[in-house]
Amino acid sequence: MSSIGKLMKQAARMQQQMEQVQALLAARTVEATSGGGAVKIVARCEGTIASIKIDPAALNPSDAQLLEDMLLTAVNKALGEAKQIYNEEMGKVTAGFNMPGLM
Domain count, the chain: 1
Residue 42 sits in a domain of what CATH number? Answer: 3.30.1310.10
Distance CA 37, CA 58 (A): 10
User: Reading across the β-sheet that carries 29-34, which strands appear in turn?
Assistant: 29-34, 39-44, 49-54
Helix (H, G, I), strand (E, B) or coil at 40: strand
- How much is the pLDDT for 61? 84
Judge whether 63 lies within some domain: yes
Judge whether 100 lies within some domain: no
CB 53 within 8 A of CB 11: no
pLDDT tens digit string along 50-97?
Answer: 999 999 988 888 888 888 899 999 999 999 999 999 889 888 887 766
State which residues form the domain around 52: 3-94
**Which amino acid makes up residue 44?**
R
- How much is the pLDDT for 99? 55
pTM of the model: 0.69
